[in-house]
Structure 1
């Protein structure tokens, strides 16, 4: 097997940034800076943009009057931060252990190695590193994903040096959602947005673009039959989907209009709403 890693710059669609509505902006922003090492890129009295270098990855909208998120609602399962290398993941894990961060799990997914936690308001987080692309597929060429025990001692052995903040080249690799129905999620994320179904798992679909194992996922494990999320609730607000070519974005808009879906426009960016109220901004 080769050590070729996936090139996200080549995919027709990818994740840009994520917006969260939070009740305590100071506490949540401190967590993402201290624990994940994201840097402040821009801020106002009630908003904060965090990222690496000039690239914003996470926007926090402070709203003390937002209702607490209900873990049974549709919305965010986790935002998955993709690190450039396995050594970066090892260094982050050592950093988290030093801080005494409470972790929720650690898994070997065949395509990647992943560590799970949550921010102070319960928004799920995955920190992960991909394996080389040659590891992803079975003999029939199908993407293989599983949830197996992560070999943490083996991982930590590659983490020479100290964590020095979220590394350049790190991105939001995927966003995993809680949805009310898998068929409905497929009809929106596959048929309207144009993602491929890269893999299926009991109660979940994994959507990828350009051969990636998944840029988005939707599951019903906690949210079966959930309806539209209440307006004003804390949690996920917007996912930016970046289209590499303008024609790709135009085709999404055309499909949405043909399906009579409502489209907003903010700063010349089309914004769709998924069936559960999450806003999808179509960036370039």
Structure 2
């Protein structure tokens, strides 16, 4: 009997000889090995959470197949140069035809990664076995104290994280700062939760959602001015100069910003590939109204969209504030 979904096979997909080598990919994806912890809250039950995201893509068919086959999303709709994918009828990702676009350089502002949150650790285990059997290329693994994460890129280089949160009562907070480190992932303990003798992943589980969005920006103070002071998200990792981690309702982070490769970056080119927009799902209409007022008071343009409003961050990324729970 051939068992391909082993730690060795998964490390091979990440191009690494050991877990410590694979962790280097996660360090690059999360920016260092600081040690900090988390606290109360759940990603999609907070007053504000991530709703969905949209990518401008060169090859929509190829990208649709990847998110369907590698991640397990379902194709919900396809029309007018767009593919909408999601879980249980809930849209999570829109792929938009941009056949003449240029690739967005990694030194520019834009998407660092979209993080898909598995409902349970066992779901992450089953997906890892699926990745091994279907030879999905991986780039890193890490234990972040509050969560366990796997990193990879889609076929057009957009960063992805597939992760499972630890129970919120095991997160650690001190003076409003959550402990989030980058440590070696106990892959054997995760794989012990499922069989490795066959692929049992039958598509994304019903509770899969986007847990957080991580962005490249040109300047952390300007980014915090928009996402923290205008949109009302709260910092969970202090006043770092190279990055910011922001959330609603005590989650470890819904939005992250970094300048690791993009310090000083200016406005994004709307003709390039990459993130077109992402949405923040706001549970109460009054919060949308308050956020809209703060944006307008800061001199930022607010455009009405279905169920909410849209604004541009300082680098031209479109952020939608939508009323209602997903």
Deviation at 1:159, TM superposition (A): 2.3
Residue 249 of structure 2 corresponds to 210
Q: Of 168, 173, 184, which residue of structure 2 is paired with 1:149? A: 184
Q: Kindly indicate whether the alpha-carbon contact (under 8 Å) linking 2:217 and 2:262 is maintained by their aligned counterparts in 1.
A: yes
Residue 33 of structure 2 corresponds to none
Residue 219 of structure 1 corresponds to 258
Alpha-carbon distance in structure 2 between the residues aligned to 1:222 and 1:7: 30
Residue 92 of structure 1 corresponds to 127
Instruction: Please show how residues 43-122 of structure 1 align to structure 2 within 5 Å.
Output: 43-122=78-157
Q: Of 48, 68, 76, which residue of structure 2 is paired with 1:33? A: 68
Kindly tell me: are residues 141 and 63 of structure 1, through their superposed partners in 2, closer, same or farther at Cα, counting changes over 3 Å? Answer: closer
Alpha-carbon distance in structure 1 between the residues aligned to 2:255 and 2:217: 12
| Larger proportion of strand | 1
Q: Kindly indicate whether the alpha-carbon contact (under 8 Å) linking 2:42 and 2:168 is maintained by their aligned counterparts in 1.
A: no
**How many residues of Structure 1 are paired with residues of Structure 2 in the alignment?**
281
Q: Kindly indicate whether the alpha-carbon contact (under 8 Å) linking 2:220 and 2:241 is maintained by their aligned counterparts in 1.
A: no
Alpha-carbon distance in structure 1 between the residues aligned to 2:40 and 2:90: 21
Residue 129 of structure 1 corresponds to 164
- Alignment gaps of 5+ in structure 1: none
What TM-score do you get using the length of structure 2 for normalisation? Answer: 0.83
Residue 3 of structure 2 corresponds to none
Residue 198 of structure 1 corresponds to 236
Asked if 1:178 corresponds to 2:213, the answer is no
List structure 1 segments (4+ residues) > 3 angstroms apart after TM superposition: 4-10, 138-142
Q: Of 248, 265, 276, which residue of structure 1 is paired with 2:315? A: 276
What TM-score do you get using the length of structure 1 for normalisation? Answer: 0.95
Superimposed CA distance per residue, residues 227-281 of structure 1 (whole angstroms, 9 cap, x where no aligned partner):
1111211000101111110110000100011111011223353110000110001
Q: Kindly indicate whether the alpha-carbon contact (under 8 Å) linking 2:44 and 2:50 is maintained by their aligned counterparts in 1.
A: no
Kindly tell me: are residues 106 and 62 of structure 1, through their superposed partners in 2, closer, same or farther at Cα, counting changes over 3 Å? Answer: same
Q: Of 220, 235, 238, which residue of structure 1 is paired with 2:274? A: 235
Alpha-carbon distance in structure 1 between the residues aligned to 2:282 and 2:265: 29
User: Which deviates more from structure 2 when the two are superposed, residues 131-140 or residues 66-75?
Assistant: 131-140
Q: Kindly indicate whether the alpha-carbon contact (under 8 Å) linking 2:54 and 2:278 is maintained by their aligned counterparts in 1.
A: yes
Alpha-carbon distance in structure 2 between the residues aligned to 1:243 and 1:139: 27
Kindly tell me: are residues 103 and 9 of structure 1, through their superposed partners in 2, closer, same or farther at Cα, counting changes over 3 Å? Answer: closer
Alpha-carbon distance in structure 2 between the residues aligned to 1:248 and 1:135: 29
Alpha-carbon distance in structure 1 between the residues aligned to 2:113 and 2:315: 16
Kindly tell me: are residues 247 and 139 of structure 1, through their superposed partners in 2, closer, same or farther at Cα, counting changes over 3 Å? Answer: closer
Q: Kindly indicate whether the alpha-carbon contact (under 8 Å) linking 1:37 and 1:164 is maintained by their aligned counterparts in 2.
A: yes
The two structures, once aligned, show a CA RMSD in angstroms of 1.6
Instruction: Please show how residues 229-268 of structure 1 align to structure 2 within 5 Å.
Output: 229-267=268-306
Deviation at 1:173, TM superposition (A): 0.3
